[in-house]
Amino acid sequence: MPGTTGALSRRRLLGSAGAAGAAGLVLGAAGGATGYAATRDKAPTALTSVGSSEVMFHGKHQPGITTPLQASGHLIAFDLVPGAGRKEAAALMRRWSAAAQRLMAGEPTAGGAADGTGHDTGIALDAGPSSLTVTFGFGATFFERTGLVGRRPPGLDPLPPFSADHLDTARSNGDLWVQIGADDALVAFHALRAVQKEAASTATVRWQMNGFNRTPGATAKPMTARNLMGQIDGTGNPKPADTDFDQRVFVPSGADEATYEWLAGGSYAVVRRIRMLLDDWEKLPVEHQERVIGRRKADGAPLSGGTETTDMDLDKAGPDGKLLIPDNAHARISSPERNSGAAMLRRPFSYHDGIAADGTPDAGLLFICWQADPLRGFVPVQRKLDRGDALSPFLRHEASGLFAVPGGAAAGEYVGQRLLES
């Protein structure tokens, strides 16, 4: 693979440290430098499973929706520059799609940059695809800027206000939205730079957010991810094996008039930057935290008993006659059983942006949920949570966005082509 015979990669350095054993790890700075010099000319090892994993760009649905959670991510929204319209947007989507296809295959992006540099940044030259995905969406204002208001789907109607909202409009919405995820931080950043460079003459960055998850292989066995509150997060997600999974998550063909057929196979993404008030949360005893959530912290099992995947028994009471899962527990209020079957596919990243002005951690969740219709997915559940969720006092919704995400591009197509060229 190009670039593997040059500077020592992180994989080789870690492999050398493991081979050296504990004695080699206590040598300090001088010993580390000596170790580097002694191993830099050894033959490179093969890519690990993390680096070699590749997600396909072309398909019925865009990547990054049902793809397993990745370790590193970037969310970025753009606004079209003044004067840019449908023609310019189509050219941008063509460039972005071509770049995404190459990046996801682990190939350089040389020659395509719209900023005139005409070269790859080299940030990820020694890495494999690392499960990279690049996903594109359109905000409501995109249709105004491109003269396509008549083809804006009803699912992009504005989200209603919620009492927990403290939204920063500068970090909300946008004409275009890009989600980048990878299992290597440099691979993800490489894709971010490529997307930014390709947009240079057509769109400017409105906001950007950076996130992370646990690295694949970091746990003894595969498990549902934990959030920054230490809670297992995502247990109740719809599963691809569910008979109604596609119905819940993806827009079906022919569901609306032909005006919106460009969205068939696509989805709607609701994006929320949710700050967690960790200092307050961590003062609670674990038993109190579990009652707030409605699940055990250790393994995610419902307080009504069983394992993580056991269905919640919402009517089960303890010896004192009180419900084992409190009536205001987050898991109870957000459950499909309490929301007329409403469900969404949650696929978040955690974030940490240092310390806020009040001296507390500016950290939390980059909440991303996918659904065929946000008015039947996110909105009813959030309304219910807004009325009495025990977790709400520990959360602040600080930014919000809603985007229509077209279906995947077939070979030879670019994302959004059915909208922009019809």
Residues 6+ apart with CB under 8 A from 125: 2, 3, 108
DSSP 111-177: T--TTS--S---TTTT---TT-EEEEEE-HHHHHHTT-GGG--GGGSPPPP-TTB---GGGS--SEE
Query: Any bridge partners for residue 371, and if so which?
Result: 268
Q: Give the pair of three-digit tokens for residue 254.
A: 């022919």
Which of 120, 184, 233, 373 is flagged as catalytic? 233
Q: Give the pair of three-digit tokens for residue 84.
A: 């840019």
Q: Which helix (H) or strand (E) holds 185?
A: helix 185-198
Query: Any bridge partners for residue 211, and if so which?
Result: 73
Q: Give the pair of three-digit tokens for residue 62.
A: 């865009």
Q: How many CB atoms lie within 10 A of CB 12?
A: 19
**Would you call 273 helix, strand, or coil by DSSP?**
strand
Q: Cα separation of 375 and 236, whole Å?
A: 19
Task: Specify whether 233 is catalytic.
Answer: yes
Query: Any bridge partners for residue 74, and if so which?
Result: 180, 210
Residues 6+ apart with CB under 8 A from 208: 74, 75, 76, 77, 192
* Interaxial angle between packed helices 185-198 and 86-104, expressed in degrees from 0 to 180 and rounded to the nearest 10: 160
Alpha-carbon distances, residue 269 vs 175, 186, 236, 374, 422 (angstroms):
14, 25, 18, 8, 23
Q: State CA 49 to chain mean position distance.
A: 21
Q: Cα separation of 72 and 132, whole Å?
A: 9
List the catalytic residues: 233
